[in-house]
Amino acid sequence: MSPVGPPSPPPFVVVGEGEAYGLRCGGVVVLERALRALAKQGHARATVAAPELSLRADLPISVDWVARDTPPPDGAEVVRGDEVAGVRVIDRATCEQAEWELCLGLSKSHQGLIDGLINWRFSVRITRLLSSTRVTPNQITAVSFVTGLAGSALLLGGSHLSLAMGGVLIQAQSILDSCDGELARLRFQGSKLGQWLDNVTDDVLDLTFICCAAIAAGGAWTAPTLAFAAVRAVAQVFVYHEVYRRTGTGDLYAFRIWFDSAKETVDEVYDKASLGIWIRSLGRRDTYVFCWMLLCIANQVQVVALWGIILGVLIGGLMSFHLVLRQKLPPRPA
């Protein structure tokens, strides 16, 4: 066996003159962003050549502080601790530029069509404003939930104005629904609780909005819409059960219906170059909530109820096939 050499020294983090590395960019100190990036690469320790700063207690990397003019040891990887999103932070102006670049990169690669075309243009601006406050992602989820409930309740008013306002509020909720995840990614505040709250509240709001639309539509629409909303609710419970059984989380993007490969990534499942994405998009929340808003503004609440029936049929049917086929098919390879 060849001799094993001495271990490489930890990354050596350098900063420029001044104290710009201590500015908050998107709610997190500039230097801390560089350290978290090193932790994500697998480093457990780093040396920082700069005056010591107070960093968050949950920083997943140990830091050794040395004088700013200390030369890096031989073999150490030298990393800039004053750069964010490719922008060298030297003052407040460059910090704001870097913050905006960070916000532009918050969108998920597998986001839905309406999220990618419309919603993100509003959500990233809201997220940026909130990043410097004490508002948490879970608090945004709570506000979003109340907004959606208010929109659903307005449908029961029956007038064209109340329907239109209800549609606008459910779309506003959809935009806020992006903000909680964006803020969590921007400030490194993601959690399993937040993931569960985000997904469960969305499903509850969808069912509530559909049921209120059915009641507002009245007549023959009410009973079948409520029935298929119940079917969808039962199907969603099975989805959550399977996701939790496989992953221990509430990440619905981890769910793979029977015709998807278990090894496919989220980007592969929602490949925007495939024909299937256009079909899938009709069942993605950002798309149908936006359409619901347009229908409510057009005083077509019956079509919202019909959409709810179709979603119940599709989701319930697909999940039924999935449960049956899962029993017959051999176990998926790990």
Which of 54, 55, 19, 17 lies closest to 36, judged by CA?
A: 55
Tens of pLDDT, residues 246-255 = 888 887 777 7
DSSP tag of 61:
S
**pLDDT above 70 as % of the chain:** 87
Tens of pLDDT, residues 18-57 = 999 999 999 999 999 999 999 999 999 999 999 999 999 9
When pLDDT is averaged across residues 135-148 and rounded to a whole number, the result is 96
Distances from the Cα of 24 to the Cα of 52, 63, 94, 110, 127, angstroms:
15, 19, 12, 29, 15
Mean of the per-residue pLDDT values for the chain?
Answer: 88
Q: Give the helix/strand (H/E) hosting 14.
A: strand 12-14
SS3 88: strand
Q: What top-level class would CATH report for the domain 109-328?
A: mainly alpha
Q: Quote the pLDDT of residue 253.
A: 75
Distances from the Cα of 3 to the Cα of 9, 10, 153, 183, 221, angstroms:
18, 21, 72, 47, 77
Beta bridge partners of 29: 24
Tens of pLDDT, residues 59-112 = 999 999 999 999 999 999 999 999 999 999 999 999 999 999 999 988 876 777
Q: Checking DSSP bridges between strand 28-29 and strand 87-88, what pairing results, if any?
A: unpaired
pLDDT at 179 over 80: yes
Q: 142 or 276: which carries more pLDDT confidence?
A: 142
Domains of the chain, by residue range, sit at 12-103, 109-328
Q: How many CB atoms are located within 10 Å of the residue 171 CB?
A: 26
Q: How many CB atoms are located within 10 Å of the residue 41 CB?
A: 11
Which of 61, 58, 56 lies closest to 11, judged by CA?
A: 61
pLDDT at 214 over 60: yes
Strand runs labelled E in 26-84: 28-29, 45-49, 62-66, 78-80, 83-84
Which of 120, 163, 156 lies closest to 293, judged by CA?
A: 163
Taking 3-state DSSP, the helix, strand and coil percentages for the chain, each rounded to the nearest 5, stand at 60, 5, 35
Q: Quote the pLDDT of residue 25.
A: 95
Q: 280 or 171: which carries more pLDDT confidence?
A: 171
Least confident of 124-128, 203-207, 312-316: 312-316
Q: 6 or 187: which carries more pLDDT confidence?
A: 187
SS3 65: strand
Residues 6+ apart with CB under 8 A from 32: 55, 56, 59
pLDDT at 333 over 50: no
Q: Quote the pLDDT of residue 243.
A: 84
Distance of alpha carbon 102 from alpha carbon 304, whole angstroms: 37
